[in-house]
Amino acid sequence: MKINPNYNSPEALLELYNKPLLELVFEAATVHRQFHDPREVQMSSLLSIKTGGCPEDCGYCPQAARYHTDVEAHKLMSVDTVIEQAKNAKANGSSRLCMGAAWREVRDNKDFDSVVEMVQAVNDLDMEVCCTLGMLNEHQAQRLKNAGLFAYNHNLDSSREFYGDVISTREYEDRLNTIDNARKAGISVCSGGIIGMGEAIEDRVGLLWSYMQMETPPESIPINALVAVEGTPLEDQKPIEQWEMIRMVATTRIAFPESVVRLSAGRTKMSMEAQGMCFMAGAGSIFAGDKLLTTPNPDFNEDKEMFNILGLIPKEAFAGSEKPVSMPDPLIEERKKRELEREDELKNARQEALKNGFEPRKITVS
Ligand code: SF4
């Protein structure tokens, strides 16, 4: 049951969201137990592989170049650094690595080749690999799929109606197209939203309604609470109440019984008790590690303690699904072949020149 037929309209979702809190949590916990092991919670790590300098204008994002925030722009991380970070995340219990690049869209260039290599390398570590790289076309999605990408993240953020209040540089439709492209390539979809941006309750359920209208809803739905960052247009938004997060998690759980609901940004503002209520209400994953791209997050040790106290166990990678196979990427193979050929040509030319009595000019610096 990918969507719950009992709540298949915006009105029904709104009524569900507004149920007395404990009844809502009880219903969510019941659905959760039918489709998932309630003790299992996946620990995922989110790594910013290319930080800042983004041309988009998402009102919540400190990585947008146009906002004056403390985030320093960095170029793409090396493949070796990503592997090191992935090994560290895995040693600390993470079974999924989400790599985020602050790009408007994927471009077919050397940086994207490197991301393809990162996907291959992290998949080889037996971790689920997820990427969030902005908009992508079908061909790019196919390359990521062949590299062994498990999931592609592209959030709708909020309802279609509220979306334009927060982002103007790309349309809701563009986001839906990217999700479609990932789907067509056979990649599982991770897509969710942010609450606390000034939206109405109708917009929260409007987000869920957008997913309900998809032929296949996302397999993974992250629910974030806004982390209001100084310098962004949403810097003055008041933090949401913890019970709002619990409500949103519970409503999402009931609406999409098979999907993994991910308790994502904003956990530093939540008590362990409130997070416990979210797990009770069906959250099946957290992001672990002290950074969520650029915003703070509880560190590994704090989460380990919480898991011990609540009796949770970290969920293994690929539970209930198959590990993707990483295949060689023809474009990268071709580029590497050309580079080797060029190196050989240069070496041969050098040897030929020396054979013909060519003596390199000696330069003396006085
Ligand atoms: S959320 Fe993504 S696309 Fe939007 S400004 Fe931030 S990095 Fe750019």
With a threshold of 0.85, does the pTM exceed it? yes
- Judged by DSSP in three states, 4 sits in coil
Write the DSSP assignment of 51-119 as a string of letters: -S-B----TT-TTBTTS--SPPP--PPPHHHHHHHHHHHHHTT--EEEEEE--SB--SSHHHHHHHHHH
At residue 254, φ and ψ (nearest 5 deg) are -70, -40
| Minimal-distance CA residue to ligand 1 atom 2 | 102
User: For this structure, is 131 an active site residue?
Assistant: no
Structure tokens at 314: 């970290």
User: For this structure, is 58 an active site residue?
Assistant: yes
pLDDT-derived band at 265, boundaries 50, 70, 90: confident
Summarize pLDDT for 58-69 with one digit per residue, the tens.
Answer: 999 999 999 999
Statement: residue 249 has pLDDT above 90:
yes
Work out the number of other CB atoms within 10 angstroms of the CB of residue 102.
26
Residue range 294-314: average pLDDT? Answer: 84
Closest CA relative to residue 3, chosen from 13, 18, 11, 15: 13
Give domain limits for the chain.
Answer: 7-325
- Judged by DSSP in three states, 153 sits in strand
How open is the CA angle 60-287-227, to the nearest 5 degrees?
Answer: 25
Q: How many CA atoms lie within 13 A of 333 on its CB side?
A: 6
What CATH number should be reported for the domain whose range is 7-325? 3.20.20.70
Amino acid at 251: T
User: For this structure, is 61 an active site residue?
Assistant: yes
Of 63, 68, 197, best ligand 1 pocket probe by most atoms within 8 Å of the beta carbon? 63
Summarize pLDDT for 161-197 with one digit per residue, the tens.
Answer: 999 999 999 999 999 999 999 999 999 999 999 999 9
Of these residues, 96, 130, 175, 204, which one is catalytic? Answer: 130
User: For this structure, is 130 an active site residue?
Assistant: yes
What length is written for the chain?
Answer: 366
Statement: residue 352 has pLDDT above 90:
no
pLDDT-derived band at 294, boundaries 50, 70, 90: low
Structure tokens at 116: 């393809």
CA distance 63 to 71: 6
CB distance 303 to ligand 1 below 6 Å? no
CB distance 166 to ligand 1 below 6 Å? no
CA distance 16 to 39: 25
311 class by beta-carbon count within 10 Å (0-12 exposed, 13-18 middle, 19+ buried) = exposed
CA distance 8 to 214: 12
